[in-house]
Amino acid sequence: MPTSSEMQPQLALLYREALHTLAPTRLAPEIDVRLYPYAGIHHTIRLRQGRIYVRISDIFRDAPTGIHHALAFILVAKLLRKKVSDAHNRTYRDYACSPESLRASDLARRRRGRKIITSAKGHTYNLDTMFTRVNREMFDSAIEKPTLSWSRTRTRRILGHHDAAYETIVISKTLDSPDVPRWFVEYILFHEMLHIKHPARIVGGRRLYHTRTFRTEEARHPRYKEAQDWLEHVARTRRTQKARAA
Ligand SMILES: [Zn+2]
């Protein structure tokens, strides 16, 4: 893992490149890039007395260069009040919304003493109640209860996530809505509970989460077919919204 003093000159180069691409006629100001222990995923860019100051969440310390590259273009575009390219936005978002980043962000927030406001009780649905029912109906109440939480942000790409290391199931806030039928939320919860019942297996050096046993049991759910249609529906909604935003 590179130390922050080693990586900052490299990061500054990315910002110089972004600046050169987005504002080719301007002079190159000095750029000061630092990782900063923000509580959560947060970055800032400022221009002060001819010098650019960039502060990147230290949660991104190990982010691949491609992500830092996209972030540099996003922040510089914001500084110059220019339109951010969709491709850079997408690259950045996919990384920032990955379960690993969200977890790192949650841990940072916890470590840095900010109150955690998410809980199992949402606006529309209560995950505790749902868990008890799904556990009884689908698992003979054999699944030990993990920490249940609604996600803090509306993640459309990832509807649910089970974290074995932290014994946590996080369900996307997108589903905590009267527009989403209860059975579908319970189905997503059911899928995550299957991950507790069927832990990941290492196959050919890779971690396999959805094993054949997992998939077979999942397909036995009485509303499996309907759930696949709804997953399609959610994916379609996401595409439409993206198209509208573009
Ligand atoms: Zn899964």
Domain shared by 135 and 102, yes or no: no
Q: Quick one: CA dihedral 191, 135, 211, 226, positive or negative?
A: negative
Count of the separate structural domains present in the chain: 2
150, 212: one domain:
yes
- Asked whether residue 71 falls in the same domain as residue 147, the answer is no
What type of residue sits at position 186? Answer: E
Query: Among 172, 185, 192, which residue's Cα sits nearest to residue 223?
Result: 185
CB 90 within 8 A of CB 68: no
- How many angstroms is it from 99 CA to the middle of ligand 1? 12
Q: How far is the CA of 228 from the centre of ligand 1 (A)?
A: 13
| Contacts of range 99-107, beta carbons closer than 8 Å, 24 or more positions apart | 99/158, 99/161, 99/163, 99/170, 101/41, 101/59, 102/151, 102/153, 102/155, 102/161, 102/170, 103/163, 103/166, 104/59, 105/40, 105/41, 105/57, 105/59, 106/152
Residues 46 and 76 in one domain: yes
Distance CA 63, CA 95 (A): 8
**CA 21–ligand 1 middle distance (angstroms):** 40
Domain assignment present for 116 = no
Assess whether 87 and 44 both reside in one domain: yes
Measured from the Cβ of residue 68, the count of other Cβ atoms closer than 10 Å reads 21
> Is residue 35 in a domain?
yes
Distances (CA, A) of 5 to 102, 171, 238: 25, 37, 40
How far is the centre of ligand 1, averaged over its atoms, from the C-alpha of 192 (Å)? 6
Are the CB atoms for 91 and 68 separated by under 8 Å?
Answer: no
User: Is 98 found in the same domain as 131?
Assistant: no
- Overall average pLDDT of the 126-142 stretch: 97
Answer for the pair 159, 174: CB distance below 8 angstroms, yes or no.
yes
pLDDT tens per residue across span 182-231: 999 999 999 999 999 998 888 888 888 899 999 999 999 999 999 999 99
Cα 168 to middle of ligand 1, angstroms: 13
Flag whether 31 is in a domain: yes
> Could you tell me if residue 223 is inside a domain?
yes
| Structural domain contains residue 120 | no
Same domain, 52 and 147: no
pLDDT band at 1 (very low <50, low <70, confident <90, very high): very low
CA of 203 to the centre of ligand 1 (A): 16
**Residue 106: is its pLDDT beyond 60?**
yes
**14-53 pLDDT, tens digit each:** 999 999 999 887 667 888 898 887 767 789 898 888 889 9
Residues 104 and 135 in one domain: no
Q: Are residues 141 and 238 in the same domain?
A: yes
Domain CATH code at residue 26: 3.30.2010
Residue 4: what pLDDT?
45
Same domain, 74 and 147: no
Per-residue pLDDT at 203: 80
> Is residue 117 pLDDT above 50, yes or no?
no
Measure 54 CA to ligand 1 centroid, in angstroms. Answer: 37
Q: Binning pLDDT at 50, 70 and 90, where does residue 115 land?
A: very low
Q: Please tell me the distance between residue 195's alpha carbon and the centre of ligand 1 in angstroms.
A: 7
Q: Specify the CATH number for the domain of residue 192.
A: 3.30.2010.10
Q: Which of 136-150, 176-190, 227-241 has the lowest mean pLDDT?
A: 227-241
* Ligand 1 center from residue 80 Cα (angstroms): 41
Cα 159 to middle of ligand 1, angstroms:
10
Residues 6+ apart with CB under 8 A from 218: 190, 191, 194, 224
What pLDDT, on a 0 to 100 scale, did the predictor assign at position 114? Answer: 47
∠ CA 243-244-246, rounded to 5°: 65
CA of 142 relative to ligand 1 center, distance in Å: 19
Cα(28) to centroid(ligand 1), Å? 47
**How many A from CA of 39 to the centre of ligand 1?**
28
Q: For residue 207, how far is its CA from the centre of ligand 1 (angstroms)? A: 12
Asked whether residue 112 carries a pLDDT value surpassing 70, the answer given is no
Residue ranges making up the domain that contains 186: 127-245
